[in-house]
Homo-oligomer: A and B are copies of this chain.
């Protein structure tokens, strides 16, 4: 009988392990649903259960004002980054969340190093921050467009590892999810956007250019994941052709992460004991 899949089966091997582990992004089936309950309704129920737990844990994170959590979401166009945020965090108090969408850098941002604008958005004590796209765009787009040579790319990977180590060592728990869809699935999702004029605002003709370089992007993802999955900032590959599976799996990962923080409410204040409000 096949072993039940575990979240760590989808973790990208750590960059700094002595023994080189086998990893190929292409080995992961985007249509797989290893953490699905078996039905969309079941998945939604599970998501709702996890959401309630995350809400309680996040409140405790906020009360403690000590630890920080950073979730990085990456994936090809239409892979469901926005949809994941919407679904997974539906139950979580908006007060405790900060969502940071990274778009094409501004002139001022480009006048700094590529991690400058990212560092400024790092979570503060008690905060759960979600990066919708991230500094990883800077080792994907310019690589595919041939604007970064191998040395410059390796240098950025090293800079990213250093940056993420800094965040981790100073109290931030980081998890990174690559929402993995197939080229066929993307075709359907792009076509649906084109066929519905009310959704054209989500679409730019240049999105089709990136699709033409699908294989190059997959290769760039493969390299970046391999070079930057670390014990302090692991990457997970999320099979994402099924939206409800994608949501449940990201939620399960986040739940495990929060449970691992051993969160506790701050102790009662002695100074408040027996106080009567007048």
Contacts and interface: CB of A to CB of B under 8 A. Distances in A.
Contacts of A93: 85-86
Nearest to A268: B197
Contact of A272 (B203, B272, B276): B203
A269 B206 CA distance: 13
A205 interface: yes
A171 interface: no
A194 B274 CA distance: 8
A268 B200 contact: yes
A92 B132 CA distance: 18
A220 to B, nearest CB: 21
A85 B89 contact: no
Interface in A206-252: 208, 211
Interface residues of A, number: 40
Interface string A184-201: 000100110010011011
A231 to B, nearest CB: 29
A266 B63 contact: no
Contacts of A266: 200-201
A180 to B, nearest CB: 19
A20 interface: no
Contact of A63 (B90, B201, B278): B201
Which of A101, A194, A266 gathers the greatest number of chain B CB atoms within 10 Å? A194
A181 to B, nearest CB: 14
Interface of A: 63-65, 82, 85-86, 89-90, 92-95, 97, 99, 101, 132, 187, 190-191, 194, 197-198, 200-203, 205, 208, 211, 265-269, 271-272, 275-278
16 contacts: A64-B201, A85-B94, A85-B95, A86-B94, A94-B94, A94-B97, A95-B99, A95-B132, A187-B278, A190-B277, A194-B275, A197-B268, A200-B267, A200-B272, A201-B266, A205-B269
